[in-house]
Copies of this chain bind each other. A is one copy, B any other.
Amino acid sequence: MDRKNRSNCPISYALDLIGDKWSLLILRDIILRDKHFYKDFISSDEAIATNILSNRLKMLEYDGFISKTRDTIDRKRFIYNPTEKGLDLLPVLIATMRWSDKYSTEIKQRPPSIEMIRNDPIGFENRIRAKFSNTPTLLDRHH
């Protein structure tokens, strides 16, 4: 799955990896919505197709954004978690939410987190990070 970087530009670099309509939504599910299983991603409102989901999960794991470990309780399934590299996209997710909060005027419904993101985006980021740092094993495969 080797890809060539289109240029030395840091924005281009990131888009080469996650510049599509789905990758950041899967990371959103894992990081912000406590979703950790394949069936959880399927159930999100955007109704991702299973072939796209499988492909994106593979890419995100290959590129080091998420880890995939066998569930010790139900060994037929896998648990997906963010790596440090994936969690470090939080500022991108938060900046995107703030932009949409301002411009998606035709959408009336806002996620419950938007209030905190409006008032204290740094605090929000820290709270999410703390959630994962409290369970350090979640991050043990970020190489």
Smallest CB gap from A45: residue in B: B7
Return chain B residues, CB-CB under 8 Å to A20.
19-21
A104 interfacial by beta-carbon distance below 8 Å: yes
> In A1-22, which residues have CB < 8 Å from any B CB?
5-16, 19-22
Interface residues of A, count at CB 8 A = 46
Which of A54-62, A68-76, A84-92 lies at the interface? Answer: A84-92
Instruction: Give min CB distance, A123 to chain B, whole Å.
Output: 16
Q: Which of B21, B102, B109, B114 contacts A15 (CB 8 A)?
A: B21
Per assembly, the copies of the chain total: 2
Asked whether any CB of chain B lies closer than 8 Å to the CB of A35, the reply is no
- Looking at A16, A47, A89, A96, which has the most chain B CB atoms within 10 Å of its CB? A96
Of the A-B pairs whose beta carbons lie under 8 Å apart in the complex, a sample of 5, sorted by A's number, is A10-B111, A12-B46, A14-B99, A14-B100, A15-B22
A interface, CB within 8 angstroms of B: 5-16, 19-22, 24-25, 28, 44-47, 85, 88-89, 91-104, 106-107, 109-111, 114
